[in-house]
Every structure is written in C-alpha cells, then in structure tokens.
A and B are shown apart, each in its own frame.
Chain A
C-alpha cells in the first residue's frame, strides 16, 4: 500500500495527552466487575466551514470536538459511557458507568497495549486544508458561487459552502490493540434556485472525499460544481410533473446507487441478522435477486468519503462481497455481531463520534457492472421513467424501501423525452432485486457528498451503480 506523502500526524500524543499506562488502568477498571471486552475510543475533531450566500461570505465557523467513549461488552450486553473531560478521574468514572452492565467476575485480564502500525492508507491528502490560508479556501467557494450564478439569467439564488475536517482518533482495547488514525474529509457544495414567472426550482451539486485541496484542481473544479447545480435547477423549470403508477424504470449510473444502499445494504447489516429483524436474516446463501446482481461494499477505495484505514473499533476494513449473482454471500460485520454470529469481522463497525456505540454500517456500496450498453437499456423501454438525480431514500426491515428522484425523464419509444420532476419510488427489496432486468457496463459513483443515518448516527458514505433497468416499479408522481 502507498503511504501518504505529506501528512502523517502523530495523533495520540498531540491530542489526548494521556499516558499509555493510564489507558491500561482505565481498561482494567472497566473490566473489574466483569465483562469480556473493554475499549476506549478517543476523538479530537477539528472542523471548518465557510458559507457564501447573497453574494457575500456570510460567515465562517471552526469547531473542536474532544471526548472519550468507553464500552464494556458482556455477552450481548453493551455498557457505554462518554465524557469530554479527559482527566483520569472523569475517565475512571466513565469506565465505572460502562461496567454497570457486568455483574460476574471477569474471566479476562487486560493485555499490554501494543501500538499497531498501519501499512495502508486510503486517504489521498496532499494539500491539507487547514494548512492553507482561509482566504484561499474562501476563493474556492467564491469560484463555485460565481460559476453557478452566471450560468443562466434565471438563477436567482445561490448558496455555496465548504466543509473540511480532520478526525483524529485513538482506540485502545483490552486485547492489547492500540491504534490511531487521522481521517481527512472535505466537501464543497452548491445549491441553486432558478425562477421563471411563478415557477421556482432547485438544483444541487457537490464534491469532495477523503482528499486534500488538490482535488479541486485535479478531479472536480469548483466552477463545475456550481455549473452542475445551476444546470439542474434550470432544466427543472421546463420539467413536467412525474407520472404516477407502475411502469418500467431505468436508473442513471452513479446517483442511483442509493437504490442499492436502501434495497440491500441496510438489510445486510449484521445486527439486523442476529436480531432476526431483517427480511434477509434467514436467506444467507440463498438467491434473493436476479443473476445479474453482484454487490460489494468496499471501505478501501482510495479517496472516497466512505473509506477509512481502520473502522471505529480499530479493525482494518475489507472489501466485502455482499451479493454474488443474486445470492447473499456476505454481511457487514462489527465486533459484537461477528462475535455472536461466529463470523469474521469485516471492518464495518462505525460510529458518528465518541458519544456513540459502534454498529454495522455501510461504507462505499455498489452494484458491479454488467454487460449491457446503457443506450441499449433505454432503447428496450417503450414507455417508462428514467430516474436521473436523487435526494435519498429510506428502508425498513421488512424490505419496503423508497428513494426520491429529484429529476428524471420520460422514456417514450426507447428515447429520453420530456424532463420530469420530483417523484418517490417505492418497492419491496426482494421483489425489486428480482426485477433488475438489465445491468449496464457503465459503473459510476454518486457525488462525494452522501451521508447515511441509522439509529441517530450519521456517517459519510458513497454509493455506486451502472445503468439499471427495473421491469416494473411504483412511481409516485403527480399526474
């Protein structure tokens, strides 16, 4: 694995100022009244934000998050406590709170902490945002703003924002693991509102990832982001209402990854399997979809938002095959679920921050490319709906899921015709996975701006997919 060129901060000593010996003592206190496993998660997050609207740099913000979360596992029970005071006494108090779930003497003693050195790095950081003067970062925002505003006279309102953060983290556990990471994350977004008469429409675009500022000169320029947001808003001014009812649906490559995220990803998170609440819990090794469907979750894709060198339990992640040719072959595992289910960890134990218990989560989820030419897919539809841009989706354990399309096209006689606006699509996952009739060879990934929420915890993710055709799906348009 390639190592980072410019930026390799020393996490632990710089930010937490606690001795290894003290950490060890806290872990011992946590296990003193029982439990099989204890873990300390230390976090220091530095975040910056620049906001431009109404032609001015309206404000900038800087925030520091510092804290420690400690958990004790005893059977299927988790005791958790956190504090933002990293004094020994407060950490000790947290350890005692976390140990309250355990009652029998612990069979486990705390191993000596050994520093784990990672030989891989999935972040691509050359120009570290906070080492660049704020003026230069403001210029990026302005460039995007101006490009959006000047795209078309109907653009009446623009909002551009830049967020950057570095999350320094150290994990120490009773098995002797002691590991640190520093995760960079940036995001430049632009929102446009276009007006024509009484009509008003909205467009959005953005980019970023676990990268440095060089991204904006080598991958995706700020002006391009502004232009894309404007384009969408302007196009929607001429869009008609989406149709309503069941019809063939073609999903555009990239953005439609949200379908895979909702329809399969969540239901393959291991906690829903050990609790038997997922519709998939009794279908491991069984065929649940069309043979054209192969799905991976890969937290190791360089530079992606959803990637990480270690998960929030300190486990190096693995590219995980979830569905192979329609058959469930893998689950997204964290420590607790893998332990209970006696399956290997996959490095998908994630948490929003130190106040949260880690749970199985997606990282970068995508459907593998197929064999069809995207044009051929569109041509195969006599009358249907082409879903182009997406707002997000939701799923419940029964497999019922929705995703919201912000813009699309009608398909008539094998061609994209009128642009159409907002519609929610609904289906049941097993049904829809079986109705994926054609998979394109054009795998793309969504914007590097996505966030996934589960049990109140938000984490950055990416989704991807090639052009897909679904035989029939319910479209909730207005006409």
Chain B
C-alpha cells in the first residue's frame, strides 16, 4: 500500500531530523536552557543535570566552565519559537533564580575560604554576572527574530521584550565596566588606574571608529537580504496560485470563446475563487459554518449559472446540526437558483444562541400547499431536515416579492461536548 509506505517514510525522516543534536529550548529554562536541553537529549530529568553542574562547579569550577562551553556550543531551539504564545517563565522569576545561584556559589566559595574582600575575586564575579546578562540577551534576540518571522501577532511581545532587553544589556555593561574598574583599582593606584582606563578608552574608540561603517553595512545588508527573501517567497506563492487558477481558467475561456454562457460561467467562478483567495480569511469548508456556505454558494453559482450574493455574520465550527442547516440551505439555494430568476440573496448569521440562514430570490414565487407531496426538494430536504435537527423552516412566497426561505436552528439545546 503506497500510502502506508509514504507515511512511514515521513515518520522516519522526521525522527531523523529531530534526534541528532541537543538544543537549548526557550521555555522552562533557568539560565540559558543548557541543563534542560542536555536533559532532554540524554533522557534524564533536568534536576539531575542541574545538580551535576552544581557539584562539578565545586570540583575546581569545572561545572561552571562546562556550562559556559555548552552554552556556546548548543544551538537555540528555534522550532519551539514558532508558537509565540508558548509559556515563558517571567523575567523576574529568572532573575531571582539567577541571583540565588550567584549568591549560593558565592557563599559556598566563602565557606571554602575564599576571601572576597581581597584581590580580584569579587570584581571577577561581578564581571561574569554582567557578561552572562549580555549573552542571555543575544539569545533572546535570536529567539525574537524567529518568532517575529513566524507570526506578526508576536510583534507586541517583541516590542516589550526589546525594552526589557535594552535594560538587561545596559545593566550588564555597567556591571562589567564597574568590575573592570574595581579590578584595576585593586591592583594599582588611582593614578595608574586612570591612565590605564583612558588608554583603553582611546583604543576602544579608535577601533569603533574604524569598524563602524563596516558593521553598519553588514547589519543593513542582513536586513535587506531578509526582506528580499520574504518578497521572493511571496512572489513564488502568488505565481503558483495564479498559474493554478487564473491561467487555467483563461485557457478554458479561450477554448470556449464561441459559447458566451460558458465564458460567463468560467469568469464568474474564477472571479469568486480569486476574490476569496485575495480577501477572505482562511476558512476550511469542511470545518466552519461560513466557509461551508460559501463553498456551496460557489458550487451552485457555477452549476446553475446564477448569481448568489452571500453575506455571513459570525462563524463557528460545524457540528452535526449545523451541517444539516448548511445542507438545507444548499437545497434552498438550488431552489432559488433554478426558479428564482437566477439571482438570490443569502444571509447567514450565527452566534452562541441561534443560527439562521435566509435565502431570498425574486422569482415568481410558489405556493407551498400546491407542491405535490412527492416532490422531495422543499418538504423533505429543507423543512423535515430542519425539524429533525431541532430547528425550523419557514417559506414566505408571493408573486410580487419572490420567495424567502428562512431556516432557524436554536443552539443552546444541543450543545455537544
């Protein structure tokens, strides 16, 4: 069976892609997601990895070194970023845990006899914290780029986290600079420290001046490339769609050029398809009420050479009763298209209490009583069907105003889980 073989192949491919590399997830992490990433890769609980890191830290700081090395080596898991609503532990929580970790390490080191007041230990620790903050931020920016590309809805998240990010970078820089100055002061006298600082600043300024245009151009090119890529993808999408729909229809129209009715039908069908592709929010006719009605209206327009003006208000997922309502509405639309002068107005409204569809045409009208009992159309497919599903159907008809079929379906009574 080719189908089964195909699906097994899919499965194989997908497992093949996801297993080989450990990644750092963006959710559930405490510092940079290294521990949780490793834990997922090795199939052990995250706390075990965390404990291992802490224990190793006291073995001459190996844990800390390993952590930083893994941080640099493991790629960020950007797949999870495609869901912008995925839970993220709040910044305050993470900041608190970071502080607890730092203080804990500090206290332990103090207990082991390291003297913080003297020498380079305290400045070094502060510098590490500052650097960690900045590194963290680059992680977040990478994540945000991905989620912004994945969804425009994430724009707001990006904006707020960008503000938080600037703060984090600023605090990180202040910490690092403060630590370096303190280090310098502790090693030399104030005069020498000032001299060293100004020399360092001069060199930094020179480097910045020389490299600035280059860095600027690099950044600009990067964003231009990204825009061009997005544009190219959009163009390819549109080209594919136009080829599948408009070009095919135009070919058909050329072939049918001596049959005006067929040309009109093709043009109308294509117009409707193009319009719904351009303007309509995506709806799956198998799934939602309004999309199902729209599909049926389009079908009937093309098979009966009629114009159906469909207006829908509200939408909801289909359930069996609503599907029956759509089927009844379809029958009514067919009726209108055949007997109603090829023009019909359809209005559908659905909310949590009631679903209603009104199908109106301007034909000569018909008398419900005069329809022979054996004619299936109106009686069986519309009225009985509505009644079986707890709804009702009314037909109002007169030679002057045409026919209006009103379908009502109360929705409170048959709430299905």
Query: Does chain A bind chain B?
Result: no
